[in-house]
Amino acid sequence: MHVLSVSSLKGGVGKTTVTLGLASAAFARGIRTLVVDLDPQSDVSTGLDVNTAGRLNVADVLENPKEKTVRQAIASSGWTKVHPGTIDIMLGSPSAINYDGPHPSVRDVWKMEEALALVEDEYDLVLIDCAPSLNALTRTAWAASDRVAVVTEPGLFSVAAADRALRAIEEIRRGLSSRLQPLGIIVNRVRPQSVEHQFRIKELRDMFGLLVLEPQLPERTSLQQAQGAAKPLHVWPGESAQELAADFDQLLDRIIEAGHIAVPENGPHAN
């Protein structure tokens, strides 16, 4: 089981939509996927079309990561109405903010790792939608992860935010989890005709080189539309949606390669 945290250190860069795009790509490829909603806004839970009635959530897991609690906090996504496959969600909750202090104990930092260990035989890939900060929730996610994808947009503060995130990943790798590595930087909401955006992407490449992942993701409404309808991007109609789905497929290839993830031979269910 490969665990990838999807992170940003500032809000508003589309981190959750990137998580949903990667989840859609993995689901289309037939990869058994669990999405963990660690962002107190809980938008990824909404985008995955889940009935939360009678369910526990990630805050309960962080309080007590025992098997019964973990299993009651995981629900199947409504995406499985589209086509068969495994796409589950550990439900988010605004209450998760209570576990996002600036100085987590060592015990608290390892709680997500402890929880995921209980289900590691059931999934090939775990995507953790992190809180947009460097407090306890993100550190807990990173301690449970093999890789971190840093989401940014090509704006004035993108280089500084990406640099801060990469330094923090290295700090966690040295101090807590030696297996943790950056997957790279996903540049989101790019307007290809914008001179400013092209300048900022060049700035990122000059500073971080191959850590700036290809392709960059263009600003498109199709992903927001699919998310708003709680449908996977890969079945959303229109050329724009299919072009963006192909971009997420390429990013997923990078994740598969980094994590040595086994992909079912029957290939994609959708497209």
pLDDT > 90 fraction of the chain, expressed in percent and rounded: 83
Q: Which two tokens stand for residue 191?
A: 């307007």
pLDDT > 70 fraction of the chain, expressed in percent and rounded: 98
Phi-psi category of residue 267: left, alpha or beta, with phi > 0 → left and psi -120 to 50 → alpha: left
Coil, helix or strand at residue 191: coil
Work out how many domains the chain is built from and give that number: 1
Query: How far apart (Å, rounded) are the C-alpha atoms in residues 170 and 176?
Result: 10
29 part of a folded domain: yes
**Which pTM was predicted?**
0.95
Please state, in angstroms and as integers, the Cα–Cα distance from residue 58 to each residue in 165, 213, 228, following that order: 23, 30, 22
Query: Which residues are bridge partners to 152 per DSSP?
Result: 187
Q: What was the pLDDT predicted at 266?
A: 63
170 part of a folded domain: yes
What is the span of the domain harbouring residue 226? 2-259
At residue 212, φ and ψ (nearest 5 deg) are: -80, 110
Average pLDDT of the segment spanning 120-145: 95
Could you check whether the bond before residue 154 is cis, i.e. omega within 30 degrees of 0? no
207 part of a folded domain: yes
Q: What was the pLDDT predicted at 67?
A: 97
190 part of a folded domain: yes
Per residue in 38-96, pLDDT (tens digit) is 999 999 999 999 988 889 999 999 999 999 999 999 999 999 998 999 999 999 999 99
Burial class (CB in 10 A: 0-12, 13-18, 19+), 78: middle
Average pLDDT of the segment spanning 98-120: 94
User: Is 268's pLDDT higher than 70?
Assistant: no
147 part of a folded domain: yes
264 part of a folded domain: no
Per residue in 161-215, pLDDT (tens digit) is 899 999 999 999 999 899 999 999 999 999 989 999 999 999 999 999 999 999 9
| Beta sheet of 87-90, edge-to-edge order | 74-76, 87-90, 33-37, 125-129, 2-7, 147-152, 181-187
Please state, in angstroms and as integers, the Cα–Cα distance from residue 137 to each residue in 20, 62, 98, 203, 222, following that order: 19, 9, 10, 30, 30
Average pLDDT of the segment spanning 126-154: 95
Q: Which residue has the tokens 């996977």?
A: 232
CATH number of 131's domain:
3.40.50.300
H/E stretch holding 214 = none
271 part of a folded domain: no
270 part of a folded domain: no
Query: How far apart (Å, rounded) are the C-alpha atoms in residues 253 and 25?
Result: 10
